[in-house]
Every structure is written in structure tokens, then in C-alpha cells.
Structure 1
Amino acid sequence: MKRFLLWMFSLLALLLLMIFVMGLVAVRQFKGGTQAAVGGNSLLVLRWDGTLPGHGVPLMERSTGRQLSLSTLIPAIERAAEDDRIKAIVVEGDASMSREHLFELAQALEHFRASGKPIHAHLAMASDAQYQLACLADRLSLSDASSSGLIFIGTAIHQTYRRELMDRLGVRMRVRHVGEAKGFGENWVLDSMSVAVRENMSLLVEDRQHLYAQWVGSARDINPEEFRALSEAPDRFLLTPSEALEAGLVDVLESHRQWEDYLKEQFGAYQLLEVGEWVASQPEPAVGDHVAVVWAEGEILPGRSNDTGAVRIHGETLARDLGRLAEDPQVKAVVLRVESPGGAVQPSEEVYLELQRLAGMKPLVVSMGSMAASGGYYISLPGAMIMASPWTVTGSIGVVAMLPDLEGSFKKLGLNEDGVFSTPLSRLVIGEPVPQGLLDAMGRSMEEIYRVFTGRVLQHRPLSPEDLPAWAGGRVWSGLRANSAGLVDSLGTLADAISAASGLAGGVDGIRHYPVQEDLLELLFSGRLRPRDLFPMLGQTQLPAEVLDLLAPLDTDPRSMIRSEWEWELLE
């Protein structure tokens, strides 16, 4: 009976994999044979689900043709400006993106408007970010329904502080910081935000509120300070449609049907073209001499990436890819797009050294996205030019390490860890107190890392040793303040960084984004993706060992499951 169940389970797993791959083949063939039908009187609709990613699109979305990201959206809007079939852009619905990405999008929309084409927007209910996009329109309408309105939530930076819980559990978190404002981990050992961190975060919140008011003031031609007073008033959680109209935040109140009638008056019999369909219909750019835009997104981790769609920076993979670009004769310049809060020290150093090498071979320009902090700032330093958005969160020049000490928890539970240990460090086991020698060694290592970090900042940036402490110490800064301090060279978009890199390379028109977003089928055929990367359950130890043994050949070479015949004798 056991043998039969194993046989059936293995057969089912293989059949599911086969059906899955055949489905991908069908989707790919369908995707390759169809394109969005773009009529001669089309309105491009900016609408998508969830938050727009920078470049890394989840693997399953790539495989179904939905590849909308900032890196595909911006050039698609620029091409729409030149396409006579597209008459206008329409902003509608729940489109959401980071403030920094909006900064990028605004430039593309201005390019679209400069082509003589209008931008129209209609809102039913909107919060800060949704309104920030919609207010860029030439005509902004708001639903006249009583349930409609504008909600200005504001900016908040907060986290849950856990010291009391840790005390109750008998857990002592050993947190070491180098940098008085390096706040990561303090919520494990404090009851509330430390004075230095609160002071630093208050500046960041103020900058973002200031930038938002300036944005709305410029887009709607109203006084930014008056807008701040209105949007931050404690009794104005929701602006009703009439209040929004009176304040000049919208142009007209109308129902959705009235808005559609207005579009018909302006454009006649129009076709709504979803931006995702428009992006999917764009041809692949020709590969020749080009500027390589390398996206470094997510937490910095050691090891290699398997490209399953998780947005992370794996040091070994990124360093390898940078090395290949450095040697590629068609890559005339590189733009490193950093969207990272930092991470592990060793892979950050690995990437930094490879970027330093690349910068000695060809122009390297850094474009900071929503965040380029700590390790994200560290890997940015080799750039000949560093550009940030005013909204970028950067800096965080500091070091932090954490170790849990469960001795108290073990005592509360009546547990005792005992054994034979060759050195004090070998006693670093669960339930034992963290050796003081280890804490001392960790502290010395962190001081050395901080010394190297600040030394690299002084090497690459125009700051003096006397000025640096005020901008280091773990403090984070908006791109606005980072620019005034000299932590970055200028404020600008990714497009500005690409233009600068092209200029440094003597003028290169081609652009290609890396890593190349391959779909799931391409990864399977290349042999770089294993079944257990797709189905984590195949790698779990709770499965019978016999089943794992049967599936092991597929894990070794996934191409073995894409065959014209099946070797059923494997199941005997």
C-alpha cells in the first residue's frame, strides 16, 4: 500500500509539472501571436493593480504577459507621445506608486503634454498618492457623490517596540549600534523611539510633507503653505467634493457618466487602451551599443539569485553581472539604479568592489530610487555621478548587529543547556548567555566596518572629516538634504541619469535594462530554474524520502522534464 501511494504521489507531481509547463507554452504562443489592437483614436489609461514595481516583475506575471513596471511604463509613455493613434492620457482608478516613482512619471507626463496631447483624470475617492498622480492632469474631476472626497493621510514613520514583551519572555536582545541615530533594532530593546532617531525621523517627515505641498501647489497653482494648513488640519480628515472644489484642488465635480460624456465631446468615438496592453505591445529594443541600466532592488543578501521573482540583491549574482557588463564591448556606459535599504556587509562590499572596477573601465552613473540607504548608499559611492530624487531616502551611514540571548527564557521554562565546549565561543548555543568575548569582538568588528564605510564616503564624496559626522551616525536623509550636504551630486530622474551616462560615453542612443526579465518558460529551458524553486513543497523534508529521490533528477536539471517522452521506469 505504501509503495502504491508513493507511486501515485510521484505520478501526480510529474503530471502537474507537465501540465504546468504545457500551459506556459500555450500562454507564450498566444502572447507572441497577439498584440493590443490600437485604434486611431485611442486614450491611454494609466491604471494598474497594486503598487507599481521598479523593474523586477513577479515571475508568474512575466509568464502571462503582464510586465508593467516603472522601467517599462516610462518609455511606453514616451512612445505614446510620438504615436498619432494615441490622443490623450487618462488617469483613473486606484493606480498606486511610490512618491519617488511619481517623480519619475511626472517627467514622462510632461514630455507627453509637450507633444500637444492632454492628460485627463477622474477620481471617485483618493488619498495622498492617488491625488498626487491625478493632480498632474490638465483637467481633474472628482465624483459629485456624497461618499466621495479627498483624504490626506500625511506621512508616518513608526514601528512596534517590543522591550516589555521580551522581558516577559525572558529574551534579551543584544543590539550593538555604531552611529547614535542608527535606529534599526532599537525596537527590540527600547519601549519607545530614542531621542536621536526621533529627531532624525522628524526631519524626514517634514521634508516629505514639504515636498508634497510644493508638488500640489505647483500642479494646481495654489499656495503650498495654504494647502499644508488645509491638508494637515486635525478636523479635515476628509475633504468633501464641494470643499475640494472650493480649495481649487479639482476642476469640476461630475459623475463617472458625465466624465465619459465629456471625453466623447472632446475625442468623439474613442477607444480606451489599458497601459498594460500598450506596454505588452511594444517591440523589444534592438541590442547594439547601449547604456546598461542595472537595477539593484531590495535587501542586499549573500549568495546567488534564482530569479523566482523575489526582489532582492544577491551579492554574488549582481557582482557577476556587473563583471560581464564591464567586459561587454556593446555596453558603453552603466547606470546603477539603486532601490535598496541595505543589508549584509560582505555582499555589499563584494558589489562595491566590482562597481569600483567597472567605474575604472567605463562611465558609471548612479540613480537613486525610493531608497538607497546604508548598504544601498555604500554601493552607490563608486559612481562618477550620483543622482537622487528629492523623495529618495538615503544615507544611514552606520552599522548595526543583533544577537538573541535566550538564557532568561530557558530559566523561565525550566530548561538547561549543557555539554562539552572547547572554547568560550563554542558555547554560543541556544539557551546559553552570549559570551562577553563575542560581544567585544563584534563591537571591534563593527567599529572597523564603520571606519571603512566613512573612509569610503570621504574618498568618493566632497565632504571633510569635520563635516561628515553630522551627516553620518546612522542618520537618514531625504534626497533634498542629501544634495545640499554633498552626499549626492544632483537631483534628477532615471532618465536624467541615463542621459548623463550617454553623454559621458560620447553619445549612445541604445538603452537596455538589466537583469533581463525572462519569463518562466525561458528560465526552465535555460536550466537556471529548478522545480523546487517553483514548488517549495518539493524541497520540504516532510515529504517521503522515496518521493524526493524520485524527483531529484528533475531538480538536478529541470530541462529533463521538458521532453518528448517520459521515462516511467523511474517510478518502478
Structure 2
Amino acid sequence: MNFLRNLLAAILGFFISLFLIFILFVGIASLAGKQEPIVVKPNSILELDLSSAIKDYAPDEKNPILEALELDETRLALNKIFNALDNAQLDDNIKGISLNSTLVNAGFAQTQALRKKLEEFKESGKFIYAYNDVYTQKNYYLSSVADSIFLNPVGQIDFTGLSSEILYYKDFEDKYGVKMEVIRHGKYKSAVEPYLENKMSDANREQTTSFLKSIWSEITSEIAKSRNITEREVNNIADESKGRNAELAQANKLIDYSIYQDEYDEKLKKAANGKYSTISLQDYIKSGKGRKTSLAKDKIAVIYAQGQIMYGEGNEEIIGQGLINKAIKKAVKDKNVKAIVLRVNSPGGSALASDLIWRELELAKKEKPLVVSMGNLAASGGYYIACNANLIVAEPTTITGSIGVFGAIPNAYELSKRMGINAEQVSTNESAQYSVFEPMNKKFYDVTKEGVEQIYKTFVNRVAEGRKMTFEQVDAVAQGRVWSGKEAISKGLVDELGGLDHAINAAAQLAELKSDYKIKNYPNYKTDIKEMLKFSPFGKVDKNEILREALGDENYRLFNQINELKNLKGIQARMPYILEIK
């Protein structure tokens, strides 16, 4: 009896302890929520540090425990940054902007959109200064919008032109006996090329060179205009690495002065006409400047589709037909929503999920105007869900197109044979079966190839119908080929060049909205109790957060890209290879 009594007492004590710990966390969270509000002081300079991950859409963190312990992921939402910069133009307390980011953690289309927004800020008459010890290429591109650019006397500017590197695995597969069985349509559909070849194909080199040059021409043009030099001079600077030290950078007009941080602070003091305060972009947004208020009844719904497309519910990182289609239906049902803007930032993914989203958008378009805004990527499945819009708007540096499909299945037959493993199968029927331990048979190949061809034809027909083109016209610019937003205009895949604001204004015009209107963002991401407790002593540890911390952002991104391959189920309408432009 004593043993049983002691056991029950221990169990009861354990649960009481858990309850008390939970109450403690709630109390800490409650205290965190009662922090003093952030106030923008007079004569302030807004400091822009863009080294945190920038997403098109990042809802407010709703996990009070993580917030209280400062374990919530630092991130910036592009829409909130834009709102903050718009508000800063009219804010009498903000005298100017200081760009002092070590890097710009965004894609080129996002960076170009940010640069345009900063140009708008300058129209208010307020200054923008930029300072850094070392400028990365993307950071310099953004910073070149500044009135004056400053560099540490022993610093440098990494300005050498764009490049993209792809790893090829064919020899590795032959050596170790593990390979990917690939079935594809499209001579440019190079998502699977690294598994089939040991070097880049001529077709892939052609398309990669083409869109890199297109993006680079945008960068050089804008830098040349801001720095008052010619595009030829900008290219010569890149060819000869003339930003490799401060002296060369100043001589070639990449910067205005090479000074130390304390001297830069004096420059800011002079620009602000005396003693000044600083406020970070993050705090400025938290102060309420990251949103716009309106009393208007009419709304435009902006639905954010960001991440790879996978069949299922989806979340903030992954586009699933579940969440996106719910958002579309909510926007259609809301009588105050007069138009829909779909913001796409995706390399594509599941063909099935893409088609399900396409169908819901097709139904929505019958009720309300539909405009697509393309971010960094709107390729393959990302283009599939965009193609039926009334209007498609892309940034010149957007990567789009890639109208093609493929299927890829791992095969370890050679490896198993070398290891002395033999797999035997028993089946009730003669259907097209596949085993990872046997070579792909002709029947399975033929059935899968038929599926790939069917989805390709469906994809092209969807585009032809949405873009009012013939099948042959779409097929001529399809075949899995990737285009920049600027190139896509002449190919009929995009209607206009511009950012999200441009797309929203176009949607308002299509809806004939002449007065003020609100922006309603979708989807709504809900944090459940398990997610809230993931860092608590009695919650499950999030292995991805541990890996990110251990590997660092760059290595974690590579790990995650490789890890994603195992989740590719079904035929894919996906971006050709994992594109990293440097």
C-alpha cells in the first residue's frame, strides 16, 4: 500500500509541477505583453537592417511563450516594410533613412521592389545614407539608391556580376549504384538534368545565360542611373573587380566617401540638423507603422502563395491546396472584397495540388477580378496557378515560365546487386509495378510517361486558355524553359511589369473602385498548442530549429533543399533545379 500511495503521490506531483511551470510561462508571456509601447522620438533616423529573412508575407507571431523567451524567429514581411516606408515619408519624426545592413536576405525581385520603394521615399525630400564595412553585391545594388554611399576605409565591395552554380550527380550515381529514374517533358526541363548528365546541357546553359543577363541588365541600368555613370562603366567595374578596396571603389564612383563608423555618425548628425535618435525598422513596424489604417468598406484581398507546392493543407512555408483554397473561398464569400490579388513566390511542385488551386482560382475569377503579382519566383507550378488571371504583373527580375513536368524516382538496383541483395516480387496482377531494387521496366515507364505527357498537355492548355494563345504558341515558349519577368512580356506570359502595389492598383481599376479601400491579407495561419509549447520543458523539441542553429542559415538551406527531394510525390511541375543566383 505504501508503494502504491508513493507512486500516486509522485505522479500527482509530476503533473502539478507541469501545471505550475505552464502557469509560470503564461505569467512571463503576460508580462512580456505589458511592455512599454514603442514611441518614435522627434528627429529620428530609421535604420534599415535587412539581414533577417524577408518573406512576402509573415503574420504576427502568436506564440507568447516564444516571444517572452525571445525564441521566436526573427523575420521581416515585405508588405509591412512597404507600409513602414510609406508611413515614414509622412512621419514628421523621421528625418531620413540609414541603410546599414550586412546583407540583404531577399531575392532579387524583392530587392528590386525594395529599391523602388526607397526611391519613392526620396521623393519626400528626406535623405537616405548607406554605410557598411563590406558590401555584398545584392546589398550594394539596394544601397546604390542612397543619396550618399559610405564604406569603411579598409572595406570592399563584392561586385563581380551574377553567377549560378549547379551540381551534377551522374558520375556519383554510377560510382555508388544509386540513381534517380527520370521521366520528363521539355528540352529545357532541367530540374532533373543533374541526375542524367555530368555536365550542363547546351539548352540549360542557353536559358540560364539568358535570364541571368536579363536580370543583370536591370541591376546595371539602375546602378548606372543612381551613380551617374554609364552601364559600360558598371560592367567594366564588375569585370575588373574595381570595388575590391575602398580606394578603387571611390575612384570608380561606387561610393562617395571612405570613412569610419564614428565619422559616418557625424554625417548623419549633420543630415538630421543636430542630435538625433535612431529607431530600427523592426521597432518602427512594432510601433504600428507597419500597417495602414482605413475606414473604407471596400476591400482587396491579397492571397500569398509562398514556398514549394505540395499536396495537402500547407503552412507558412509550403503552398498546399488546403489553406490556399480556403483563403480563395473566404475572399469570394466576403461581399466587401471587390477584387483578388494572388501574390506568387514559388518554384512550383506537385502538379495535382497546382491544378486544384488553379480550379479554385478559375471559379473565383467568375465572381471577382483576379490579378497575379509575381515575386522572386513564379515558375512551373507557380506559373500554373497564375496563368488564368485577368492580369499578370511581374518584376523585371522575376523568374517565371518553366512550363514543363517531370517524374523522378530513386533506384538502388546497382547498389543492391553489389551488396549481394536480391529482391523478389509476388503480385496478383500484371499492372505496372515498380521496385527500388529492380531496374525500371518498360510497362512502368510507358504508364508514367503517359502521365507526364498528359499533365504537360493539360498545363499547356491551361496556359493557352488563360493567356488567350494557341497550344502551339505556348508550346513554343514552354518546354520547361525559364524566363525573366522582362523576357516573359514579349513571350506573352506576363502582361505588365511592376510590384505588388502595381498589381493591387490594377485590381482596383478592374473592380472599378474609385474611392479608398482596405487590404485584407490571406491566409490565416493558426498556431496550435503543440506549436506554442515546442520550446517549453514539456513540449517536443523542434529538430529543424536545432539544425538551423547548429548548421547556420546557409548550410541549413542546403540541407533543407536536399531533404525536400524525399517529399516529391507524384508528377512535378517544378522549377528547373534549385536556383541560387549570386
TM-score range, shorter chain: 0.7 to 0.9
Determine the C-alpha separation between the residues in 2 that align with 1:478 and 1:5: 68
Residue from 327, 332, 335 that aligns with 1:326: 332
What aligned pairs does 1:124-523 form with structure 2 within 5 A after superposition? 124-144=133-153, 146=154, 148-233=155-240, 236=241, 238-267=243-272, 268-282=274-288, 285=293, 288-305=297-314, 307=315, 309=316, 311-425=317-431, 427-507=433-513, 508-516=516-524, 520=527, 523=528
Task: Give the distance between the partners of 2:7 and 2:166, measured in 1 at CA.
Answer: 48
CA shift in 2, pair 1:446/1:265, >3 Å: same
User: Contact 1:335–1:498 at 8 Å: present in 2 too?
Assistant: yes
Equivalent-residue separation in structure 1 for 2:10 and 2:238 (angstroms): 63
Is residue 67–residue 276 contact of structure 1 (8 Å, CA) maintained in 2?
Answer: no
CA distance 1:266–1:56, shift in 2 (3 Å)? closer
Task: Tell me how far apart the structure 2 counterparts of residues 72 and 274 of structure 1 sit (CA, whole Å).
Answer: 14
Using the TM superposition, give the Cα deviation of residue 478 of structure 1 relative to its aligned residue in structure 2, in angstroms: 0.3
1: CA distance between counterparts of 2:410 and 2:149? 53
Aligned-partner Cα distance in 2 for 1:26–1:409? 55
- Displacement of 1:156 in angstroms is 2.0
The offset of 1:173, in angstroms, is 2.1
Q: Alignment partner of 2:377: what SS?
A: strand
Residue 562 of structure 2 is matched in structure 1 by none
Contact preservation (8 Å) 2:388, 2:467? no
> Partners of 1:190 and 1:393 in 2: how far apart?
24
Cα contact 1:364–1:383 (8 A) shared by 2: yes
Q: CA deviation at 1:503?
A: 1.9
Whole-angstrom CA distance in 2 between matches of 1:177 and 1:131: 39
Distance 2:26 2:477 in 1: 51
Name the counterpart of 2:84. Answer: 76
Q: Is the 8 A contact 2:388 2:462 kept in 1?
A: no
Runs of 5+ consecutive residues of structure 1 not aligned to the other structure: 540-572
Query: Is the Cα–Cα contact under 8 Å of residues 366 and 497 in structure 1 kept in the other structure?
Result: yes
Q: Secondary structure at the match of 1:488?
A: coil
Give the drift of 1:513: 1.8
Q: Which amino acid aligns with 2:280?
A: E
Partner SS, residue 250 of structure 1:
coil
Q: Is the 8 A contact 2:302 2:342 kept in 1?
A: yes
Measured after TM superposition, the shift of residue 432 of structure 1 is: 2.7
Structure 1 residue 20, shift from structure 2 partner: 6.2
Amino acid at match of 1:240: N
Q: Match for 1:481: what amino acid? A: E
Q: Is the 8 A contact 2:224 2:231 kept in 1?
A: yes
Aligned-partner Cα distance in 1 for 2:11–2:496: 59
Quote the residue 2:548 is aligned against. Answer: none
Matches of 1:321 and 1:453 in 2, distance apart? Answer: 23
Q: In structure 2, how many angstroms separate the alpha carbons of the residues matched to 1:414 and 1:39? A: 74
CA contact (8 A) 2:323 2:523 kept: no
Tell me the residue number matched to 1:23: 25
**2:147 is aligned with what amino acid?**
D
**Which sections of structure 2, spanning at least 5 residues, go unmatched?**
544-582
8 A Cα contact 2:300 2:337, kept in partner: yes
TM-score normalized by the length of structure 2: 0.83
Identify the range of structure 1 (462-471 vs 434-443) with the bigger mean alpha-carbon deviation.
462-471
Matched residue SS, 1:495: helix
Which residue does 2:574 correspond to in 1? none
**Contact kept? 1:417, 1:432, Cα under 8 Å:** yes
Alpha-carbon distance, 1:187 to partner: 0.7
- Assess if the C-alpha contact under 8 Å between 2:168 and 2:199 holds in 1: yes
Tell me the residue number matched to 1:39.
Answer: 41
Task: Give 1:6 deviation, angstroms.
Answer: 13
Aligned equivalents of 1:487 and 1:300: distance in 2? Answer: 20
**AA at the equivalent of 1:39:** K
Question: What's the CA shift for 1:140?
Answer: 1.2
Structure 1 CA distance, aligned partners of 2:239 and 2:358? 42
Displacement of 1:529 = 5.8
Q: Shift of the alpha carbon at 1:212?
A: 1.5
Q: Deviations over 1:7-66 (max 9, x none)?
A: 989987996697468536643653465322211111000014333222136958895385
C-alpha separation in 2, matches of 1:10 and 1:217:
72
Aligned counterparts of 1:400 and 1:11: Cα–Cα separation in 2: 57
Q: Number of matched residues?
A: 525
CA-based RMSD: 3.0
CA distance in 1, matches of 2:231, 2:17: 62
1:285-313 C-alpha deviation (Å, 9 max, x unpaired): 468431111110000011113x4x5x110
Aligned to 1:555: none
- Shift of residue 351 of structure 1? 0.3
Alpha-carbon displacement from aligned partner over 1:232-291 (angstroms, at most 9, x marks no partner): 23xx27521111111111112211111111212232110000000011111764684311
How far apart are the structure 2 equivalents of 1:296 and 1:423?
42
Cα distance in structure 1, aligned partners of 2:213 and 2:9: 63
TM, length-normalised to structure 1: 0.85
Specify the code of the residue in structure 1 equivalent to 2:190.
G
- Aligned with 1:418: secondary structure? coil
Moved more, 437-446 or 412-421: 412-421
Q: Which letter maps to 2:463?
A: V
Other structure's SS at 2:55 match: coil
Inter-partner Cα distance in structure 1 for 2:482 and 2:19: 47
- Residue 420 of structure 1, CA deviation: 2.2
Could you say what secondary structure the match of 1:68 adopts?
A: strand
- Name the structure 2 match of 1:52: 54
Aligned to 1:544: none
Q: Greater shift after overlay, 382-391 or 162-171?
A: 162-171
Could you tell me how far apart the structure 1 residues matched to 2:351 and 2:23 are? 39
One-letter amino acid of the structure 2 residue matched with residue 250 of structure 1:
I
The one-letter code sitting in structure 2 at the alignment partner of 1:189 is: L
Tell me the distance in 1 between the aligned counterparts of 2:59 and 2:505: 25
Q: Give the partner amino acid of 1:458.
A: A
- Deviations for 1:439-493, whole angstroms, at most 9, x for unmatched residues? 1011111111111111111111144444333311000000010012110001001
Give deviations 1:501-521, integer Å, cap 9, x for gaps.
Answer: 122222252112222466x4x
CA distance in 2, matches of 1:79, 1:253: 31
Q: Which residue of 1 aligns with 2:559?
A: none
- 1:535-562 Cα deviation digits (max 9, x unpaired): 55699xxxxxxxxxxxxxxxxxxxxxxx
Q: CA deviation at 1:427?
A: 4.5
Matched residue SS, 2:199: coil
Q: For residues 396 and 340 of structure 2, what CA distance do their matches in structure 1 show?
A: 22
Alignment partner, residue 111 of structure 2: 102
Q: Could you tell me which amino acid in structure 1 is paired with residue 48 of structure 2? A: L
Asked if structure 1 preserves the Cα contact closer than 8 Å seen for 2:388 and 2:463, the reply is no
Aligned CA distance change for structure 1 residues 32 and 509 (closer, same or farther; 3 Å): farther
Q: Give aligned-pair identity as a percent.
A: 29
Which deviates the most, 178-187 or 278-287? 278-287
The answer to whether the 8 Å contact 2:54/2:75 transfers is: no
Matches of 2:9 and 2:112, distance apart in 1 = 57
Match of 2:339, SS? Answer: strand
For residues 124 and 255 of structure 2, what CA distance do their matches in structure 1 show?
A: 24
Q: 1:30 to 1:77 in 2, by over 3 A?
A: same
Contact 1:389–1:491 at 8 Å: present in 2 too? yes
When residues 178 and 538 of structure 1 are mapped into structure 2, their CA distance, relative to the original with a 3 A threshold, is closer
> Aligned in 2, Cα 1:39/1:14: closer, same or farther, shift over 3 Å?
same
Distance 1:6 1:472, change over 3 A: farther
**Corresponding residue number in structure 2 for 1:92:** 100
Letter of the 1:30 partner, please give it.
A
